Amino acid sequence: MTRTAPDPAPAAGGPARDRVYTWLRDGIISGEIEAGRFLDEHWVSGVVGVSRTPVREAFHRLAAERFISLLPRKGAQVRTVTARELEEVYQTRRLIEGHAISALCANRIGVPEPMPELLEAMESAGEAGDWFEVSGLDRTFHRAMVNAAGNSVLTELYDTLRSRQQRVAVRALQARPDRLTVINAEHRALVDALARHDEPEAARILNQHLRPVSEVLSLLPE
């Protein structure tokens, strides 16, 4: 059964604005709060169980991260992932992750500890068709490589992509779930290349892995 919105978690701790933000963000990333939908402050506050002030604060944060658009006299509308956005996110990731590969191989650091353990978890989530879980694990997998390179500024910059990165990944998997086998194979090949400190091969795999696929782009609006 398709839900119109994700189940709220009002019992979770933390400021009300953060709870609203997390609930909306995860719903948008997973697609349970669909692109194009208008979000009403009163509805959100009632579902999550908070006043309208933290809802407004969460809306402004989501707008800054380009999840929603704030429209005069109309409220908030969930933005649609576009082909251009997907290409730009992948391009930015290639720059940052490519630098990380260079540093890891030059310093013979090898494979950052969490990466091998995440492979099976991602594959299991993929078999279950849980694209939200897959996208979260995938981000943790790639971030481990960036973090291990030791450049804190680049890691902070990479972290700003977190939510958009996950949303783009979910949309791509929804569009072409059959690509999961290829993605899993590329993850394993990347781990193997890093273990051998083979920078050219690791860079080649990364560029292939983060290459926007025309079949996916064609399903997204310009």
What is the DSSP code string of 106-174?
HTT--S-THHHHHHHHHHHHHHTT-HHHHHHHHHHHHHHHHHHTT-HHHHHHHHTTHHHHHHHHHHHHH
- Taking the C-alpha atoms of residue 57 and residue 73, their distance in angstroms, rounded to an integer, is 17
Question: And the tokens for 128?
Answer: 């279950």
Domain extents for the chain? 16-78, 83-217
Residue 170, number of CB atoms within 10 A of its CB: 22
Q: Hey, CA dihedral for 86, 191, 163, 37, is it positive or negative?
A: positive
Question: Is the Cβ–Cβ distance between 170 and 31 less than 8 Å?
Answer: yes
Q: What is the pLDDT along the chain (222 residues), one digit of tens a residue?
A: 333 445 544 445 678 999 999 999 999 998 899 989 999 999 999 999 999 999 999 999 999 888 999 998 788 999 888 888 888 888 999 999 999 999 999 999 999 999 999 999 999 999 999 999 999 999 999 999 999 999 999 999 999 888 888 888 888 888 889 889 999 999 999 999 999 999 999 999 999 999 877 767 776 777
Q: What is the pLDDT of residue 84?
A: 86
Topology of domain 16-78, CATH? Arc Repressor Mutant, subunit A (1.10.10)
User: What pTM does this model have?
Assistant: 0.82
Tokens 């933000």 correspond to 21
Question: Is the Cβ–Cβ distance between 20 and 54 less than 8 Å?
Answer: yes
Q: What is the pLDDT of residue 6?
A: 54
CA angle 4/56/3 to nearest 5° reads 5
- Taking the C-alpha atoms of residue 50 and residue 21, their distance in angstroms, rounded to an integer, is 12
Output DSSP code: residue 92: H
Task: Tell me how far apart the 2 most distant CA atoms of the chain are, in Å.
Answer: 58
Domain 83-217 sits in which CATH superfamily? GntR ligand-binding domain-like (1.20.120.530)
C-alpha dihedral, 206 to 211 to 215 to 221, nearest 10°: 130
